[in-house]
Structures are given as C-alpha cells and as structure tokens.
Amino acid sequence: MPDRFSDILVVDLLGGIGDLVIVLPVIHALAAAHPAATLRVVTHEPGADLLRGDPAVAGVRVPAHSRDGAARAAVAAALAERRPDLAVTTTRYGGIPDLLRDSGARCVTDLWRGPPPDELVGDRYLRILRDEGLLPPSTVDPLPRLRLHPRERAEGARLLATLLGPTRRRPVLLVPEAGMAVKLWPERRWKELAAILAGLGIPVATVPPAPHAFAASPQDRTLAPAHAITHGRGSAAPGAAAADAGAAAVLPRVGLRVLAAVFAEVARRGGVVVGGDTGPLRIAAAAGARTVALFGPTLASRYGLGGPGATHLQGLPGCPHRRPAAITTQVCWWHADCPLTRPPPAGTLLPAAAPTGSAAPRTDTASARPAGNAAPTGSAGLSGGAAPARATGRSAAPGGTTEPACMVDISAEAVAEAVVRSLAAPGRPA
C-alpha cells in the first residue's frame, strides 16, 4: 500500500458495548496493516476496558462526562494531544467528522455509506477501508477478537468452576438482559428455556444484567446483581441471591474483562452463550464462545455475529416495520413501541414506563441529537448518525404495556433446540 502512517485515530462513540466489539476487526486490521503506526481509540466507558491491555492499541480516551458536547470534546482532546495522519470514525453526530477533517488528517468519516441490508456491519466497515486503499485486499480477519491476559483467563476459569461445580458437561450461560427494551426476550421465555435445559441435565448459569448495569468508573466497572431465572418458581427480586435450589446459578459481580474471560472458559469447555443482540453476547463471540443469538428488531443478516460458532434465530423475519439499514428510525426502536404486539398474558411482569426526559432523538439528519445525552448504553448508535440516546432500560411504550412481537415470536423450544445442536457440534468455533 502506498500510504504509510505514523499515527492512527479510531473514533467509535456510537454508545454501545456491542458497537465497539463490531469495530475490533477494524482496529486490529489497521494495526496489522500499519505496524509502524501508533493507534489510539476514542470510545465510551465501560467498553473502553475491552481495549486496555490490547497490544494493538497504544491509548484509549473517553469522554469526561455524559452531558452534551462531551463526545466532541474527547475527540478534540485526542487531536490536540497529537495530530493523526489517519482518522477513521463510525460516529457522525456532533460535528465529529468535520473536526477530524479540519485536523488535516486523511479521514474516513462515513463507514455507513450505502449499506445493503444483507452485509454484516463489520464486513461493511472492512470493505470500505479496503476500497479506500487502507487495508490489504486479503489477510484481514473479519471476526472480532478479544485479547485476554492469562491471569484473566485463569480468573474466568475459577469463577465458572465455582459457579457450576465439578461438572464435565458443556455449560450454557444465559444473558437475559439488554441495553434496550426492544431487544428483551420475555422473562417467561427465559424461565422456560432454563427449565428445558435443566431437564436435559445441562449445567445452566445466568449473567447478571448488562450492559446498562455496568458502572463507568475505573474503580467500579462491575455488574449489578442479577434477576435470577428460576424453573417455574417466579423471578427473584433485583439483587436477591439465587439461593433457591430451582434457580439457575448466577455469575457474581465482575468487570467486563473478567466477564469476557468467563465466556472464554465457556468456549474452552465447548459451551454455549445465549442472548439477544447485545454487547455481552458479542463479547462472548469475540472471546471464542459458541453463541445462540436472538434477533428481533435488528436483522441477523446485517447485525449478526458472524463466524462458524454463531447461530442466529430471527423473530418475525418479514416484519414490515423493520429498517435494517436505518434501525434507529424504526417505530419500535427507542421505546419498544411495537405496532404488531399482542397484549402479554395476564400476570406478566411488565416493563416500567420510560423516564421523563428520555424521548427518542430525531434521526432525519446526520446531526440529529437526543433530548438528553446521558451515559450511553445498549446498541442505540447502530445507524451512525444520531448521538446515543438516554438509556431506557426496561422502558417500553408509554405506559409500559407491550412486548416486541418479534421477540415474542421466538419460542423457548426453538432456542433450546439450537442450543442442543450447538453443544453437539464437534470442535470449537474459529
């Protein structure tokens, strides 16, 4: 390649842990293609922890706070620290592309240009950079990979052994939570799945709420206590211990990197991680684990995990409201306000209503911004143009009365069947 760079700046401020995991192949490919360059990244906590200790990354800068202008200020600070020769950004809000162009660096500021609905987002990123002459036409690994230290892997192995005991059977880890209400699989379905797997004698454990429950400070990047998934005995209250003999084991409070190490141990044991289209499930895949991913509002052909170890289950594949190339403009996206949903069964624990002030952002222009700009969570930024919206957690439609029909469409039996097939597959994913 004719161009040689001494400093490369990658900006990913879309807001979700999963968004950053999707960018990992770009980071690693740029570092491999330009080995003499110093590569820095501007991104959000807590995902930034995944890059600390990565030998391809020389430095990580994060916004100083969650108020308006913090993301742009973090990029400006990175530019002031050292002017890059090359700047690549997934993020188009807040004038960030103009800021990068004004620095004089060679810039790739639109990795979302003309996206087809059937090309994985990460593959699209890499193809654009190849077309720009910034990556070689071959030898690029398209799969996200997490770089874990042996000490972290040992801690992950210890935690999983403590959680499951001296079993030799391949384990299954369930990730029930999501950073956005529209991606939540109904709680009753998780209970049904746990009961089916337990009935087959499969060791089952649950990951506590994530990613929105991660703390952002370096001193306390931990997971909040879990809602236990029980086998037909109801759900434990938030923070309650899963001491009931019928409850799935619950992973203790851990940081993101240790969580990745637990997933890596699941991979080593030939186990499977099950979850929605969320950051933790993408971490599991990047740590080498087989995954069964539940896709509802997002289309697996565009947002899937990729690789031979991933199984995708798509709810309502023909949903007329899905917009795979512009998901943040879907009617359901910000408040799980599904126009196709049926009322949930009587007695179902419903999500709380969205907090006042967490209105959805405008998405008609690349500079669209939300009503607030609190600490980002989930995968709210996956269209690139809008700033991350304030987290809605378990918020649903105003009044909190709906479940996304696309998630309800996925049965526990179908998920259990996919898990069993994945557990029986020979070898380990690449």
In a domain, 379, yes or no: no
Stretch 329-340: mean pLDDT, rounded? 90
Residues 108 and 164 in one domain: no
CB 9 within 8 A of CB 40: yes
* pLDDT at residue 272, rounded to an integer: 98
pLDDT over 80 at 229, yes or no: no
Lowest mean pLDDT among 136-145, 184-193, 343-352: 343-352
Residues 171 and 299 in one domain: yes
In a domain, 213, yes or no: yes
Tell me which of 239 and 185 has the higher pLDDT: 185
pLDDT over 80 at 164, yes or no: yes
Stretch 316-343: mean pLDDT, rounded? 88
pLDDT over 70 at 358, yes or no: no
CB 296 within 8 A of CB 320: no
Say whether 194 sits in a helix, a strand or coil.
helix
Stretch 375-399: mean pLDDT, rounded? 38
Residues 160 and 105 in one domain: no
* pLDDT at residue 403, rounded to an integer: 87
- Which CATH number covers residue 70? 3.40.50.2000
Residues 68 and 158 in one domain: no
Using alpha carbons, list the distances in angstroms from residue 255 to 141, 211, 258: 27, 11, 5
* pLDDT at residue 417, rounded to an integer: 98
pLDDT over 50 at 22, yes or no: yes
Residues 215 and 337 in one domain: yes
* pLDDT at residue 19, rounded to an integer: 95
* Residue after which a domain boundary falls, among 97, 131, 165: 131
Residues 48 and 168 in one domain: no
CB 244 within 8 A of CB 158: no
Provide the percentage of residues in the chain whose pLDDT is more than 90: 64
Whole-number Å distance between alpha carbons of 96 and 101: 9
In a domain, 81, yes or no: yes
Residues 306 and 170 in one domain: yes
Instruction: Label the pairing between strands 272-276 and 249-250.
Output: unpaired
Residues 263 and 296 in one domain: yes
Residues 170 and 71 in one domain: no
In a domain, 171, yes or no: yes
In a domain, 383, yes or no: no
Taking only the tens place, the pLDDT of each residue in 259-300 is 999 999 999 999 999 999 999 999 999 999 999 999 999 999
Residues 111 and 160 in one domain: no
Closest CA to 181 of 368, 354, 19: 354
Whole-number Å distance between alpha carbons of 104 and 53: 29
Band of pLDDT at residue 347, cut at 50, 70 and 90? low
Average pLDDT score over the chain: 80
Question: In this structure, what token pair is assigned to residue 56?
Answer: 């391809």
Band of pLDDT at residue 389, cut at 50, 70 and 90? very low
Number of domains in the chain: 2
Residues 229 and 114 in one domain: no
Angle formed by the axes of helices 256-268 and 150-164, to 10°?
A: 70
What is the pTM for the complete model shown? 0.81
Q: Which domain holds residue 314?
A: 150-354+392-424
* Residue after which a domain boundary falls, among 98, 131, 164: 131
Question: In this structure, what token pair is assigned to residue 339?
Answer: 């126009």
* Residue after which a domain boundary falls, among 71, 97, 131: 131
In a domain, 430, yes or no: no
Using alpha carbons, list the distances in angstroms from residue 95 to 15, 162, 241, 365, 404: 16, 48, 46, 12, 34
In a domain, 191, yes or no: yes
In a domain, 1, yes or no: no
Taking only the tens place, the pLDDT of each residue in 239-267 is 332 333 245 799 998 999 999 999 999 99
